[in-house]
Amino acid sequence: MFFIIGLWRNEKSRQIILQIFVLLFIGWFLSWLAGNVASNFSALGKDISFDFLSIPAGYDINQYLIEYNSRDTHLRAAIVGLLNTGLVAVLGIILATVLGVSVGIIRLSNNWLASKIAYWYVEFTRNVPILLQILLWHGIIINSLPHPRSALNIGDVSFLSNRGFYIPKPILENGIELVYLFSVIAIIFAFLFYKFSKKKQELTGVQYPVLWINLSAIIILPIMGYFISGMPVSLEIPVLKGFNFVGGIHMSPELSALTFALGVYTAAFISEIVRAGILAIDKGQKEAAASIGLKPSKIMKLVVLPQARRIIIPPLTSQYLNLTKNSSLAIAIGYMDLVATLGGISLNQTGREMETMVLVMAIYLSISLSISAFMNWYNNRVKLVGR
């Protein structure tokens, strides 16, 4: 008896006893769940098997990045869905970043009117559910845009109608390799020049207009390659045939609505992150920079942004992650992403709820865990050292 009380009073042994109890409870709970699943499945005559992935899916997907038809397997349908998730995530992230950073900077500008407009944009978009916004934009595209016959004509090459957005498609011909080669050279040059000028600045204080030189190199070199190799790129312009457009790149109403809604919604959060990051920089830093005679643009570039980046990047990454997860709401408007293919139609056709949902969840979980791993790595890298 005294022995047990002694064990309980000793911190080390008490912790071990407590953990054993927790472990026993969790073990019991998990086996209880597993037992329930087993008995439910045997009562229904079901089993757990992933064989369904290799049988033909038998449904069509209207938007695909790799070749797909209804005779392909469920596995391929799932991959098409995953790529569609990736497509809308990448497009949405680009839109959200550009818009979010601009709005964040406008909110900080000393232009009263513009900053108020930016403020109300942020409040309106982030206080309305994203699902509602996706449906709203989809509804506007479907119901309010004109039919293809009277589509909004943008420079005779792009067309916006209730069937989606049509833009010209570049057709690559012989000789395109030279353009690729020149682009690679330009990028390598830009990288080396950046390193060189940074070193030069640290050693001597001389500054080169890095951004402009690099930008012009990246733009001009591939264009040179394009002309030298005899203009190997032609454009396939969408044309109206019958009731709809043919040719070009087609962004379906679903993809357009989803990209736009996700981009606009996430941009509101990103703008707040950018604003908070810039505001968090101590006023003394800016005053010190100004007192050694730096111009406002240099203060921003050399003093404020490098420090703000450390604050901005972690929440920014988690916004990207949120955008990717929110893209699963595509199912409400019929965009065929991972949840709509594997977790939607494949589930309904094969009746394997358990397997499909486990796969869908595992895929999303691995995406988000790898992004958090990146975030931890980045945090450790940029962490302030010392103290």
* 198 contacts 211 by C-beta, under 8 angstroms: no
Residue 7 binding other proteins, by CB under 8 A: no
Contacts to other proteins from residues 365-384, by CB under 8 A: 365, 367-369, 372
Residue 349 binding other proteins, by CB under 8 A: no
Residue 277 binding other proteins, by CB under 8 A: no
Neighbours of 49 (CB within 10 A): 9
Contacts to other proteins from residues 302-341, by CB under 8 A: 325-326, 328-329, 331-332, 339
How many residues of this chain bind other proteins (CB under 8 A)? 57
Owner of token pair 């204080």: 205
- Nearer Cβ to other proteins (226/335): 335
- Nearer Cβ to other proteins (214/266): 266
Coil, strand or helix at 250 = strand
Q: Which of 157, 108, 76 has its CA nearest to residue 278?
A: 108
Q: Positive or negative, the Cα torsion across 365, 371, 375, 378?
A: positive
d(CA 337, CA 262): 14
Residue from the set 4, 7, 22, 280 that interacts with other proteins by CB under 8 A = 22
- Piece of the chain touching other proteins by CB under 8 A; list 126-134, 218-226, 299-307, 308-316: 126-134
Neighbours of 129 (CB within 10 A): 10
Residue from the set 187, 276, 354, 375 that interacts with other proteins by CB under 8 A = 354
**C-alpha distance from residue 149 to each of 41, 145, 166 (Å):** 54, 11, 13
Residue from the set 6, 7, 8, 15 that interacts with other proteins by CB under 8 A = 15
| Region of 45 on the Ramachandran plot (φ > 0 left; ψ -120 to 50 alpha; else beta) | left
**Chain positions contacting other proteins, by CB under 8 A:** 15, 18-19, 22-23, 26, 33, 36-37, 39-41, 43, 106, 109-114, 117, 123-124, 127-133, 135-136, 138-140, 142-144, 325-326, 328-329, 331-332, 339, 343, 353-354, 357, 360-361, 364-365, 367-369, 372
